[in-house]
Amino acid sequence: MSFEVLLDAGVVTRCRRRVHLEHDPAMRGVDLGPPDPAIEQRIADAAAHRADIAGRLLEATTPEPGAATEHWVTVPRDLPASERVQRTRSALARGVPFIWGALLPADHAAGRRGGSELLVRTEQGYLPVLVVRHRITDRGSGARTTPVTDLEPAHASADPERKVRSQPRDQLRLAHLRRLLQAAGHAEQGRALGGVIGLDADVVLWHDLDVPTWPGGRTALAEYDARFADRRAVASAAAEQREALAEPSRIVECRSCPWWPTCNAELIRTRDVSLVVRGEDAVELRKVGVSTVDKLAALDADDEPPVQWTGTTFTDAVALARAWLADLTVVRRVAEVVVPRADVEVDIDMESFGDSGAYLWGCLLSGVDIGLEQGYRAFATWEPLPTTDEARSFAQFWAWLREVRRRTAEAGLTFRAYCYNAMAENRWLFGSVQRFAGLDGVPSLGEVREFVDSDEWVDLFRSVSDQFLCSHGKGLKVVAPVAGFRWRDPEAGGEASMRWYRDAVGMDGAAPDPAQRGRLLRYNEDDVRATYVLREWMTSPAITQVPYMGDL
């Protein structure tokens, strides 16, 4: 019996096992994980962003009154799919210059379906333009752009202020739409272009899908074709209930996948090796028969590794497996744990809202008295991001930190500041000085770089990674409880804080909620107190009670 499989663009960046489960008839009716409110909110935010951009583009492209030609067609998203396709097909046939909300005819021969925020007609045919709610460029040069209301790719030029930010998903979706337009007979001839309008909505970024910018000299179209063929094979095998081409394996994507309860139960039942070893290492271990945590734990770490490792070392992998079997959250990789300490210490934690900005810098001052009040303080903006008021709160944070460092140095004392995973804080330290350069109190890029590159800026995540093996992850919410710390809010977490922030600033039209502001401040304070407790624990005699990997 034959089953038709029609896939959208998302499958090419989706876990292969998820593609299987989504098309396996035996999985219909299986309980999925609850919807993630943060993801649902991001979807709603993206829809609002698209609507705003649609209004701006419609106004900018409307011809002078009295123009006889039809210039813009909107295909409502709430129509049945068949009617949306029909309206899109009709607009394509009429040669309408701009088609918003297009749902293209399915390519049954190739197993493809999908739609684009916008289709733009050029002299050679149609090309897709995506509207996304993430940043698509960084500071730099070379990205080919036009102003956001100029939808003519022939006007694109190398932008002296922007470089392309790596967003593979955008290029692969454009490639998917290019193939659908080709199947429908309406693709632009002679070149494979596509545009993207991002979160900042200040330019259209134009991608050439035939340029070999992918690893190995591949083009975006070639990469897409290979991935789509693979996912189609996986989905077809599942739909026809043939032997599965994709088995469960734990990866980063699992954390937000609705199928995780199904996969997790299976992984635990089989004690799959990916529970402690990720990615390609797990794949390669299965190939040589080391498919379970038990088999990995039984190996001699002093022997030659059974596979070539791409992630953690073989020795660490064996110890991790043994720690997992013993239900140990952390074990020491070193006999003596060392964390740089100082006379005056500051714990720092930043809260951001997606790509929109950093609205809160929380600090915990401790150590020798330098004449400033010790304890927690917060530097925040409660204007909805993005806002230039973010520059004010950032400048106040930096001025306070600068004063702490100045007083410490004048007293002849040592100073260190701590965070947990500096990638996040560094992103917004550098991003803030670049976005708000020249505004009152904003430091120079050189001043921030001097601090970040100095021994005074300590990433405790790196200290944990270098000196511990963590069988259940290395996140602060996992490791700090081992040191005895507990968050006051039972929902404490990055995703939950996104919801609290929306209410705190009245982002959805309601009045700002002071209670949610207080909740965010308590959450942030707990985060900096958690790094303080973790550091104290790591440098106390209690650390010797943590099992050493060599003893497992």
Q: Among candidates 351, 376, 374, 366, which has minimal Cα distance to 498?
A: 351
pLDDT confidence of residue 1: 43
Q: What is the pLDDT of residues 492-532, one digit of tens each?
A: 887 788 889 989 999 877 899 999 999 999 999 999 999 99
User: Superfamily for 344-549?
Assistant: Ribonuclease H-like superfamily/Ribonuclease H (3.30.420.10)
- What is the pLDDT, as a whole number, of residue 42? 78
Give the C-alpha separation, 190 to 180, whole Å: 16
Q: Which of 236, 94, 119 lies closest to 180, judged by CA?
A: 119
The answer to whether the CB of 429 falls within 8 A of the CB of 464 is no
Residue whose token pair is 């110890």: 319
pLDDT at 295: 95
Q: What is the DSSP letter of 471?
A: T
Where would I find the beta strands (DSSP E) of 286-374?
330-332, 344-352, 358-367
E strands in 259-374: 330-332, 344-352, 358-367
Largest CA distance in the chain: 84
Q: What is the pLDDT of residue 66?
A: 53
How far lies 311's CA from each of 14, 286, 324, 465, 540, in Å? 21, 15, 18, 13, 30
- The phi, psi pair for 195, rounded to 5°, reads -115, 155
Residue 268 has which token pair? 């635990």
Listed as ranges, residues in the chain with pLDDT below 70 are 1-3, 36-38, 64-69
Q: Which residues contact 505 (CB under 8 A, 6 or more apart)?
A: 359, 382, 383, 384, 385, 512
Per-residue pLDDT at 2 = 52
Q: Which amino acid is at 382?
A: W
pLDDT of residue 37: 66
Domain ranges of the chain: 35-208, 271-327, 344-549
